[in-house]
Amino acid sequence: MGIERLDEADAPVVSRERASDTDGDQALAPETRDRATYHAEYRATVDAEYAATRDSWDAAVLELRSTWEAHEARWPSQKDSASPHRPDTLDLEASAEVDRGCGRIREVGENVITPAMRAIEAEDSDRHLIGIEHRLKGAERIKEKVAAEIEARPGLSADQALASVPDGIRFTFCYSDEHYVGGVTTDLERLGALGFKMAKQLKNSWDSDQYKGINTQWLEPETGQRFEVQFHTRASFEAKQLSHAAYERIRNPRTSAAELDELEDFQRQVCAKIPIPPGSPQITYAPRKDRDG
Amino acid sequence: MAEEITYYALVDDYSSREKPGGVVRRIRRDQGHQDEAFSGDLTWKRTWLLHSAERGDTMNDFYPITEDEAMEIVDRIRRESRERG
C-alpha cells in the first residue's frame, strides 16, 4: 500500500531556529544568559521529543503495514466487488443530474475555490496543501455517495443529496506537530476572512479511536458551492492513507461482519500510534462576527 | 454475546435532531457487527454512512437514540412513504 511521502518542509523547524538563538549567548547579561540557556535546553528537549515521536511513528508504519498484509492474507481480496454503492444504482435521470452537478463543482472549484486555497497556502511556509491533485472527487465516487445517501434518507432527491456532499472539492493542509494548533487556528481565520462560511460545525476527531484529524466544510458565498478542508499532521495524514484500503473494505456490503470487526480493530491500531499534538482536541472555530456578538 | 443493537438518528442538512432524516442501527453479534439503514423501500439495508462519519465525514451527524425513538422514525418514514405514493 503506497503512502504519499511528504517533503522536508514538514520536518519541525525548531532545529533551524535553535541555531540562531544560541549564537548570541556570549553577549548577554548573566540573568539573560540563564534564560537563554534555559530556552536552549528547552528547545533541545522539544527537538528530542519530536525526533522520538517521528521515529516512533515511522517505526509504527512498518509494523502496521505488516499487520495489514497479514489481514489481506487472512481475508482474501474482494477485487470483484470494490464498489459499495454502484453508481448505476441511480436511475438515469438522477445520474444525469449528478453529472451536471459535477460539471458545476469542477467549474467553481477550479476557477474560484482552488485559487483562494492556493492564496491561503502562500501565506505561511510552515505547512502546505497535500494531495491537491486529488481535490476534485470523481463523478463515480460522488454518485456512490449520492446513492448511499438516498438509500439511508428516504424522500431525499438526487439533487438534494448532491448539494449536501461536502467533499466534491476537498483540500488538506498538513502541518508539523508543533505548528498544528496555531497553524490550524490561523488558517480557519484565513478561510473566514476570504468570505467562506463554515457550513457545519468543525469536526474535531483527535479524540476518536477510528480517525485523527479535523474536517470542516465550507460554502463559497457567491455560488453556495460546498467544499471540504481537512487539517492533518504528517502522521495523521499518513495514517489515513495507510488505513484507506481497510475503509474501502468497510464500505463494501459484501464484507462479512467478522471481518468488519477486524477492520475496525486495524483502524484503531493505526490511530493509537498517531502522536497527538498538545491542544489539538480542543480546537474549535466560531466566525469572528459570532465571537464579537 | 447476545445480539446487541444500537440505534442512531441520522441528521443532515434537511433534517434536525427533533425530526431526523433517517435511522441507522448497528447490530453486534458474536460473529461481528453490521450497520443497516431503514431505507426508502421500507426495509433495513447495509450502509457504510455511519463508518464514514466515524472516519471524519461531515455529511451526516449520528446521535444514539433509544429503540422507541428509532421506531418512531421508522413509523414516520412509513407514513411519509405512503403519502408520497
Q: Mind spelling out the 3-state secondary structure of B32-76?
A: EEEEEEECCCCCEEECCHHHHHHCCCCCCEEEEECHHHHHHHHHH
Residue contact A152–B10, C-beta within 8 A: yes
In this prediction, residue A288 carries a pLDDT of 72
In this prediction, residue A215 carries a pLDDT of 98
Closest by Cβ to B29, choosing from A152, A250, A257: A257
A109 and A205 share one domain: yes
Angle at A247 between CA A246 and CA A248, to 5 degrees: 90
Mean pLDDT of A66-70: 97
Is A2 domain-assigned?
no
Nearest CA in chain A to B26: A257
A160 touches chain B (CB under 8 A): yes
> Please, which pLDDT band fits residue A83 given cuts at 50, 70 and 90?
low
A54 and A165 share one domain: no
Give the CATH number of the domain where residue A193 resides: 3.30.460.10
Residue among A43, A156, A63 at smallest CA distance from B20: A156
In this prediction, residue A33 carries a pLDDT of 63
Cα–Cα distance measured from residue A226 to residue A148, given in angstroms and rounded to the nearest whole number: 19
Q: What is the total count of domains within chain A?
A: 2
Instruction: Choose the final residue of a domain: A34, A57, A74.
Output: A74
Instruction: Choose the final residue of a domain: A28, A48, A74.
Output: A74
3-state secondary structure of B11: strand
Please write the tens of the pLDDT for every residue from A92-120: 999 999 999 999 999 999 999 999 999 99
In this prediction, residue A46 carries a pLDDT of 62
A169 and A248 share one domain: yes
Please tell me which residue, A41 or A184, carries the higher pLDDT value: A184
Mean pLDDT of A178-185: 97
In this prediction, residue A10 carries a pLDDT of 37
Nearest CA in chain A to B28: A257
**How buried is residue A275: exposed, middle or buried, by Cβ count under 10 Å (0-12/13-18/19+)?**
buried
A140 and A239 share one domain: yes
Residue contact B40–A150, C-beta within 8 A: yes
In this prediction, residue A40 carries a pLDDT of 75
Residue A33 belongs to domain spanning? 10-74
Instruction: Choose the final residue of a domain: A74, A100, A115.
Output: A74
B32 touches chain A (CB under 8 A): yes
Residue B10 belongs to domain spanning? 4-84
Is A1 domain-assigned?
no
A75 touches chain B (CB under 8 A): no
Please tell me which residue, A30 or B63, carries the higher pLDDT value: B63
Q: What is the total count of domains within chain B?
A: 1
Residue contact B22–A153, C-beta within 8 A: yes
Please give the model's pTM, rounded to 2 decimal places.
Answer: 0.84
Residue contact B84–A155, C-beta within 8 A: yes
Tell me the average pLDDT of chain A. 85
- Give the N- to C-terminal CA distance of chain B in Å, as an integer: 41
- Please, what sign has the CA dihedral across residues A79, A84, A90, A95? negative
Mean pLDDT of A217-221: 97
Is A172 domain-assigned?
yes
Mean pLDDT of A193-214: 96
**Lowest mean pLDDT across A6-15, A46-55, B28-37:** A6-15
Residue among A144, A151, A139, A142 at smallest CA distance from A87: A144
Lookup: cell for A273: 500510534
Shortest CA gap B23–chain A (Å) = 7
Please write the tens of the pLDDT for every residue from B2-59: 899 999 999 999 999 999 999 999 999 998 999 999 999 999 999 999 999 999 999 9
